[in-house]
A and B are shown apart, each in its own frame.
Chain A
């Protein structure tokens, strides 16, 4: 059990606390996953460095067309932010699907990503949004593409005993773009997903064809997964039930859901992928076709 509990007041402060303890201290944000892992001995730390009181890490802003979210933004804050709901709907929907309200009030997006579970809702949405992640360590700050962080189930490249995920950024969705999160679980709250599918579509001028589509699926591989062949099948394809259903078929073929006592059988989950991809595409297209989208200066 951790014998020290610290509240740094800045990122630099937090990194110094970690460095001083040479791998024996670990960052904690909401702690909704980490505390259980520590109690059960799945992770270890002699000291917890609590980053939730560092100013500015809970910001949600629009900067030069990019949405920037601090690592401490909670699932509740992301799901209720007007900016996220309007310009990154898939992320708002994903965050609203996580755990229960009590978990969403405390658990952060940064924690969701660092914890690196292949079924993480927020992470899957950020993957479809092609988010970049800001990492700070003693040598400085850098932006890295989100997919670079994942090594395996529960293992991310962010080493919370020496570095810190500080922010996310991605292009805010605009005209002719739409997004959606589709999820199936045993119940509608407090249940790990049997499958999730996060989608972002861009329609062509005139909105008759897909210009591009991004389809992220979880958990169908050891790390969060993009269905790149299904995405390719939609490039320039006409918007029709047929093309959307075909994308679902292709996504099923290229992903490898396993049978799991926790979730469901492989066969069932393969069928579900088809449905979720098609359903998600339909919703995202509907959103993209809505007229009158405009840059909102109010955010």
Chain B
């Protein structure tokens, strides 16, 4: 076992991990953060997307040790108490959630994009979201939700990094 220390959703966390543990399993089974989903386990579907040091990564392909000393954000790190993150709110309002299984990964990919590029073009949104598969919605509502979240942020004059 190795002691893995990371900043997880803003807090310093140390957890004992096996050298072969994958980040998604540590998040779900050792830390109880089951918002991050396992879809395909081979990097094809994006359900396990989390943000590490500002970039969207697939936690099912990542040895947990790679997170040592890094900053990791999962879907659980987005809301503030009962107040949803604007992306979460927009996904609900725009009907971008059906079965919901892909949603955490979708939102993490969208957040990584908007943190880096607050005003992405439609093409840039599609490129950033291309690694997240959804079997239910047909994607249009998902893109609309991201666009709505961008609008709501501009309206409130907030910056993504402050959220």
Contacts and interface: CB of A to CB of B under 8 A. Distances in A.
A188 B22 CA distance: 28
Interface in A68-101: 76, 99-101
B129 to A, nearest CB: 8
A35 B63 CA distance: 8
Contact of A101 (B20, B68, B131): B131
Interface stretch (A1-9, A132-140, A260-268): A1-9
A29 B25 CA distance: 20
Interface string B1-30: 010000000000000000110100000000
A28 B63 CA distance: 10
Contacts of A35: 22, 61-63
Nearest to B45: A190
Contacts of B61: 31-32, 35-36, 106
B85 to A, nearest CB: 20
B20 A3 contact: yes
The interface centre, meaning the residue of A7, A101, A102 with most chain B CB atoms within 10 A of its CB, is: A102
A50 B127 CA distance: 29
Interface stretch (B51-59, B71-79, B92-100, B148-156): B51-59
B39 to A, nearest CB: 12
Interface string A31-67: 1100110010000000010101000000000000000
A286 interface: no
A189 interface: yes
Given A3-B20, A35-B61, A101 B43 contact: no
A155 interface: no
Contacts of A253: none
Interface string A83-125: 0000000000000000111110110000000000000000000
A191 B58 CA distance: 16
A192 to B, nearest CB: 11
30 contacts: A3-B19, A4-B19, A5-B19, A5-B20, A7-B65, A31-B61, A31-B63, A31-B66, A35-B22, A36-B43, A36-B61, A50-B63, A50-B65, A50-B66, A52-B66, A99-B43, A99-B131, A101-B56, A101-B127, A102-B43, A102-B49, A102-B56, A102-B58, A102-B131, A103-B58, A103-B131, A106-B62, A190-B44, A190-B130, A190-B131
Contacts of A4: 19
Contacts of B82: none
Interface of A: 1-5, 7, 28, 31-32, 35-36, 39, 48, 50, 52, 76, 99-103, 105-106, 188-190
A73 to B, nearest CB: 14
A32 to B, nearest CB: 5
Contact of B128 (A3, A48, A99, A101): A101
A1 B68 CA distance: 20
3 nearest CB pairs, A to B = A100-B131, A189-B130, A5-B19
